[in-house]
Amino acid sequence: MPDYSIPCDRLNAIVSKFKTVSLIVIGDVMIDEYMWGDVRRISPEAPVPIVEVDTVTRRLGGAANVVQNLQSIGITPKLVSICGKDDNAKHLKKALADINCSSDGLVESSHRPTIIKTRVMARTQQVVRADRELISDLTTEETNQIWALFERNFPTADGVIISDYGKGTISQPLIGKIIEKCVSNKKFVAIDPKDRHFDLYKGVTVITPNLKEAFAMLGIPYRQCTDEDIRQIGWKILDNLNLHYLLITLSERGMALFDSQKRTMNHLPTEAQKVFDVTGAGDTVISVFSAAFTCGASPLEAAFISNHAAGLTVAQVGTASVTPDELIAVCGCTGVTNS
């Protein structure tokens, strides 16, 4: 199988267009909180380690991490989501302001908390995670507010990313309206999917499930599988949902890109040299793929670039993003295999 790579002038042409593109990001926002410390003893109260916390950091998570990834590479993101009326919402808005992203698209809920995921870290090892959230569909009023913000931003956006973490922002009626509007206007729409909405994703440009999610989409128990199994699963999903493209992330095995028009599957081996943390890797993939595609890259070129970007982010602890210069540098060295 021949190697695939992007010529440097072609790569530069794609990346240089990032600053001219705007993408709506709609979905569940959250804060990723990290408590950093060391373990020196076991608790006398229970057989668990005591982490002596010395530092606390907060990062953008969920759809907000997609926004951060887009902003980092030069795309103008337009965030549409919901948060609470609480201190964590203040932290969220400040973090968005710190990356020069507007929080005008955030609806404040009087009964939903701002989602926060707290990870207790012993050096680089996660000891436990605590989630504070309310998982339920939005009220009719909140959904209407979200839709109004989406419609306000839609005319000037080059595409839409739906970051569905299954927390409630993306409901059945809302996602139906979003997809219908994108399809009728022939506008790019990408979805990072969750199992509760699999049957609603018909006709979109691309979805980016991981392998476990791909199994769940077909109602198949997850198991170790061969390349041929992945090929069969991918074509079933793509055909069942009438997708243009399907990009399945395969962890240490890389990615598989399915193209409905060319009826081809391309396997992209992982570009990660080191893997410290896969948190947010899916956000990086959908962000960079969407950015590249809307800037004129072919699906394979977009997958190639996003695969390299993910290889950089998983080498860091916690959610991370890349810059255009880092993208160009890392993409200039390796290739993908076609099949």
Give the residue numbers marked as catalytic. Answer: 283
Return phi, psi of residue 212, to 5°: -65, -40
16, 73 Cβ separation under 8 angstroms = no
Angle formed by the axes of helices 8-16 and 299-313, nearest 10°: 80
For residue 88, the number of C-alpha atoms closer than 13 Å in the C-beta half-sphere is 24
Question: How far, in Å, CA of 12 to CA of 4, rounded?
Answer: 17
Give strand pairing partners of 191: 162, 207
Question: How far, in Å, CA of 174 to CA of 24, rounded?
Answer: 15
Helix (H, G, I), strand (E, B) or coil at 1: coil
Largest CA distance in the chain: 62
Question: How far, in Å, CA of 175 to CA of 4, rounded?
Answer: 35
Burial class (CB in 10 A: 0-12, 13-18, 19+), 236: middle
Q: Which of 129, 150, 168 is nearest to 28 (CA)?
A: 168
Helix (H, G, I), strand (E, B) or coil at 314: coil
Number of residues written out for the chain: 339
Residue 136 region by backbone torsions, left for phi larger than 0, else alpha for psi between -120 and 50, else beta: beta
Cα 259 to the center of its chain, rounded Å: 20
Q: List the helix and strand counts (H, then E) for the chain.
A: 10, 15
